[in-house]
Structure 1
Amino acid sequence: MVGFMNKVTAALLPAAPEAILDWIFSTLLQAYSLVFTLMGIPFLCIITTTMYNLYFSPLAKVLGPWYTTIPGFWLNLKLITRDRTRSVYELHRKYGPFVRISPDQVAIADVPSARTVHSVIDTFSKLIWLKDIFRGLDTMVRIIDYHEYVPRRKALGPGFSNTNLKVMEPILHKNIDTFNLKVKTELEEKGKIEIYYWLELAITNILGVCYGKDFGLIDIGGHDDFIKSLFTALFTYTARGKTPFIGLVEYLLSYIPHSELQWLINSNNRLTARGLEYVTSRFKPERWENPTKAMETALMPFGGLSRLCPAKNLAMMKLRLIAAKVVKECGDMTPADSCTDESLGFEELTALLPKTHKCEFQRKLPVPMAAR
């Protein structure tokens, strides 16, 4: 390496005095050493932290693959590939109901333990990085301390009780009727409809109405700027919670004068200004035709007792009304040929979504006379 550096320096400055060449060579060598030292420090930190996580951490005795102890590696990789839920499920199949999935996280696939975690005693706090990913928004989601959370939950809860939601029912009917009209119109015009997209618009618009803002998403057939900012912010929130040094990255990117990049970074600010285990890899709703007590106990789509989603009753009301009205008024629909078990396999982003982000329906084909 030294001989190579001498040849390079001599080639660039053949007539320079020997003292200058020595100075240039020495400076380049120091810079070279500094670069490799700086590159080695993060690598050494990762190795040291991994060894601690693997052998000395309080979670060292929890079963799991060794590579989940590498800081910010395995979970981030599965987040990028949108395959976290299925991958964690596979680890449970291999290691049992308790499996380590990161240096400081354990996944639980044991119903009594999961209910203990979500009990009203709430001895298990929420993840501390929730404060960082939702910074700028004063919302219940980012409250870590249970005693701080309880008063807000009690204040908000009555508004979503079944009694009070009766007042909202006419508004829900209006939105769902508009949704059904769009579905029927598109079916008549095109013979096929991408119902997932229209359901997303309808449900998002109903949520907005409940908080005092009708965005008119079903009428315009798309998202307005606020809703686009909302979905973009959900993406950035996820990145904040899963990406090391994301704060520094956001700070550096904020100085790049690119309109689309700045729109992405400032999605959180626009929101602030406007104000606001039962694992299965198959879509098989018929499993709930005759659910067992164990299945009902294990089902916690709205969280547990200590952090139960306040909008649970609203969500169930929407699902019941949409299902009933769609079946009654659009009963001639059937899944399109593109709607297969493979297309309905899920991927994980900020929620579980169909892999194709589509769920197409078409009109039922008439049954031939000979087949009747």
Structure 2
Amino acid sequence: MLQELVSPASLGLALTAALLLMIWRAFFTRVSSIPGPLIARFSDLWYAYRIFRGEFEKDNIELHRKYGPVVRYGPKRFSIDEPEAANLIYGLGSRLTKSSWYQTWTSPSPQAWNLFSDQDAKRHSSNRRQYQNTYSMSSLVHYEPYVDECADLLCQRLSEMGARNSLAWSQPVNMGHWLQCYAFDVIGLITYSKRIGFLDHGEDVGDVMRNLGDHLAYASVVGVYPWLHPILFRLRNWLAGSRGTGRQYIINFTQERMATHQAEPKAEPVSEQAGTRAGVAQQQKPETMDFLSRFLQKHSENPSTFTPYHVLMGCVSNMVAGSDTTSISLSAILYHVLRNPNVLNRLRDEVDQNCPQNKTASPHISFAQSQAMPYLQAVIKEALRVHPATGLPLERVVPEGGLTIAEVFFPQGSIVGINSWVAHSNRTIFGDDADIFNPERWLCGDTERLSTMNRHWMPFGLGSRNCIGRHISMLEMCKLVPRLIRDFEFQLCDEREWQIRNHWFVKPGNLRMLVRPRVAQG
């Protein structure tokens, strides 16, 4: 019987049927008229390969400029570049859920979830409400001394790089790396009241950066074929040994940090311990609890709804999403400002006027001060427009009954999405100069145009699934950028376009520049 089932004739019939089904789906369904690469009609291999190449943000923009507002990048995958699509796909009340691509961003277990990857809309909504207050801006401004501590140490490190002559240019510095060290240590302080130590050592502490990069490369590609995830996830971790690799390594590292935190709950704040050791001015600990303490308190108050798994996932999410995204954005701000001297001069004038150097006062720039500098805010906003941290479509699944978007009907089960890089390059929304870094567009004074641009500005996503940690990132950027511009001079080592690689996070490779302290003004 088994021999009959696997006979050459049976295999040939099955292959023929599969081929005919593939051809029918490619050319004779309701979405067959949607243009795109020929191979993408038949297989997701085109998309997987393009992600592997690490340039899909460019590929995606080129697809739309070649084919129009609706393009395919897989048999059932469609990218949308139409102004009204964002609200239909991501707006409040939308019934579209996240696609199976997100499954690789968590452990392959039916019980496993995190806020980013959860495809269960009801569970996500319930869990997000439990975390929401912890991540609100009103809560985070109490962590400003933590951000200041890391900014102090970063500035000290930059000053030390030209220590033989305080006004001499440093040797080439990989600022992308140092900005990631800064972002990682800020998230360590906010989460555990203790820096992880990246700024202290200037290196990848505990191999965390490497494993985070490995996780991003794995999850972004394998997500195209999520049925492989249970197999590859276990195989990779078995081969890596007891500490695991990629996401599992980050989980294990987080658990170690949590254990240390709980073993020493009344330890002296690191701002007084390591700050003195590193030569950084001591600061008063803010009168607030770190994230882990807040999570543990919520668990103690309601252990059945805020479980130990909630505590762990909150900390893991901070580790995974709280460093790369902010460091990428900081790198983009600095890179584009330095490539535009007029922008640099205007920004520096604004900072000098509002927060001048003063050797007898604190060097820190408060979040409130940053909000009173409109050109600074325009620069940050524009940098995140031309270089959002994520660079793949935010995929959603069309629900029962189908959905019409941009005058195209998508049947149930179709995957539709908008890539922030595509949305931000739309000339109808952002103007004919959408490809150019131009902060002035946010200061145009045209209320209607500003409203339109703001609705389609999506570096942190849109709707109910936007990034819950966006306020942490903005707090770090708004405080550090003006301080770097005020206190240092930078010079790019290479005037050519920088090299970036897109594995979900669109990360610069080696942002090399010369650095030196700036002569005090006045």
- Same-fold call, TM cutoff 0.5: yes
- What residue number does 1:80 align with? 52
- Contact 2:460/2:466 (CA < 8 Å) preserved in 1? yes
Whole-angstrom CA distance in 1 between matches of 2:116 and 2:237: 29
Corresponding position: 1:299 with 2:457: yes
Greater alpha carbon shift after TM alignment, 266-275 vs 141-150 = 266-275
1:253-294 per-residue CA deviation (whole Å, 9 max, x = no partner) reads 5598x6xx5589643333333242113896725365536423
Q: Compared with structure 1, are the counterparts of its residues 147 and 44 closer, same or farther at alpha carbon in structure 2 (3 Å cutoff)?
A: same
Q: Compared with structure 1, are the counterparts of its residues 229 and 64 closer, same or farther at alpha carbon in structure 2 (3 Å cutoff)?
A: closer
Whole-angstrom CA distance in 2 between matches of 1:47 and 1:353: 39
Q: Which amino acid aligns with 2:224?
A: K
Greater alpha carbon shift after TM alignment, 123-132 vs 281-290 = 281-290
Greater alpha carbon shift after TM alignment, 209-218 vs 115-124 = 209-218
Corresponding position: 1:219 with 2:200: yes
Whole-angstrom CA distance in 1 between matches of 2:230 and 2:124: 30
Whole-angstrom CA distance in 2 between matches of 1:44 and 1:120: 44
- What residue number does 2:389 align with? none
Corresponding position: 1:237 with 2:219: yes
- What residue number does 1:308 align with? 466
Q: Which amino acid aligns with 2:125?
A: V
Greater alpha carbon shift after TM alignment, 247-256 vs 88-97 = 247-256
Corresponding position: 1:197 with 2:350: no
- What residue number does 1:143 align with? 118
Q: Compared with structure 1, are the counterparts of its residues 131 and 42 closer, same or farther at alpha carbon in structure 2 (3 Å cutoff)?
A: farther
- What residue number does 1:90 align with? 62
CA RMSD of aligned residues (A): 3.5
Q: CA deviation at 1:335?
A: 2.4
Whole-angstrom CA distance in 1 between matches of 2:233 and 2:141: 46
Aligned-pair identity (%): 16
Which of 487, 490, 493 lines up with 1:329 in the alignment?
487
Q: CA deviation at 1:106?
A: 1.0
Whole-angstrom CA distance in 2 between matches of 1:357 and 1:58: 45
- What residue number does 1:269 align with? 248
Whole-angstrom CA distance in 1 between matches of 2:220 and 2:435: 25
Q: Compared with structure 1, are the counterparts of its residues 278 and 287 closer, same or farther at alpha carbon in structure 2 (3 Å cutoff)?
A: farther
Whole-angstrom CA distance in 1 between matches of 2:20 and 2:61: 29
Corresponding position: 1:161 with 2:129: no
Q: CA deviation at 1:214?
A: 2.6
Structure possessing the higher radius of gyration over alpha carbons: 1
1:208-241 per-residue CA deviation (whole Å, 9 max, x = no partner) reads 3322253121112122226243332233222320
- Contact 1:46/1:70 (CA < 8 Å) preserved in 2? no
Q: Compared with structure 1, are the counterparts of its residues 268 and 211 closer, same or farther at alpha carbon in structure 2 (3 Å cutoff)?
A: same
Whole-angstrom CA distance in 1 between matches of 2:250 and 2:518: 45
How is 1:115-130 mapped onto 2 (pairs within 5 angstroms)?
115-130=87-102
Q: Which runs of 5+ in 2 are unaligned?
A: 165-169, 256-311, 317-422, 427-433
- The residue matched to 1:199 in structure 2 has which SS? helix
Q: Which amino acid aligns with 1:117?
A: I
Q: Which amino acid aligns with 2:51?
A: L
- The residue matched to 2:443 in structure 1 has which SS? coil
Q: CA deviation at 1:198?
A: 0.3
Which of 347, 361, 365 lines up with 2:501 in the alignment?
347
Corresponding position: 1:176 with 2:334: no
Q: Which amino acid aligns with 1:214?
A: R
1:56-110 per-residue CA deviation (whole Å, 9 max, x = no partner) reads 4453232323221222221112112111111111111122111111112111112
Q: Compared with structure 1, are the counterparts of its residues 162 and 251 closer, same or farther at alpha carbon in structure 2 (3 Å cutoff)?
A: closer
- Contact 2:48/2:221 (CA < 8 Å) preserved in 1? no
Whole-angstrom CA distance in 2 between matches of 1:174 and 1:238: 34
- What residue number does 2:404 align with? none
- What residue number does 1:71 align with? 43
Q: CA deviation at 1:250?
A: 2.2
Q: CA deviation at 1:125?
A: 0.8
Q: Compared with structure 1, are the counterparts of its residues 93 and 186 closer, same or farther at alpha carbon in structure 2 (3 Å cutoff)?
A: same
- Contact 1:335/1:360 (CA < 8 Å) preserved in 2? yes
- What residue number does 1:16 align with? none
1:159-217 per-residue CA deviation (whole Å, 9 max, x = no partner) reads 12221112111111111111111112114453432211100111122123322253121
Q: Which amino acid aligns with 1:350?
A: W
Q: Compared with structure 1, are the counterparts of its residues 248 and 313 closer, same or farther at alpha carbon in structure 2 (3 Å cutoff)?
A: closer
Whole-angstrom CA distance in 2 between matches of 1:198 and 1:346: 17
- What residue number does 2:392 align with? none
Q: With a CA cutoff of 8 Å and minimum separation of 6, indicate the structure with the bigger relative contact order.
A: 2
- What residue number does 1:284 align with? 437
Q: Which amino acid aligns with 2:140?
A: L
- The residue matched to 1:316 in structure 2 has which SS? helix
Whole-angstrom CA distance in 1 between matches of 2:186 and 2:237: 37
Q: Compared with structure 1, are the counterparts of its residues 61 and 200 closer, same or farther at alpha carbon in structure 2 (3 Å cutoff)?
A: same
Number of equivalent positions: 326
Q: Compared with structure 1, are the counterparts of its residues 159 and 96 closer, same or farther at alpha carbon in structure 2 (3 Å cutoff)?
A: same
Q: Which runs of 5+ in 1 are unaligned?
A: 1-29, 367-372
- The residue matched to 1:334 in structure 2 has which SS? strand
Q: Compared with structure 1, are the counterparts of its residues 45 and 134 closer, same or farther at alpha carbon in structure 2 (3 Å cutoff)?
A: farther
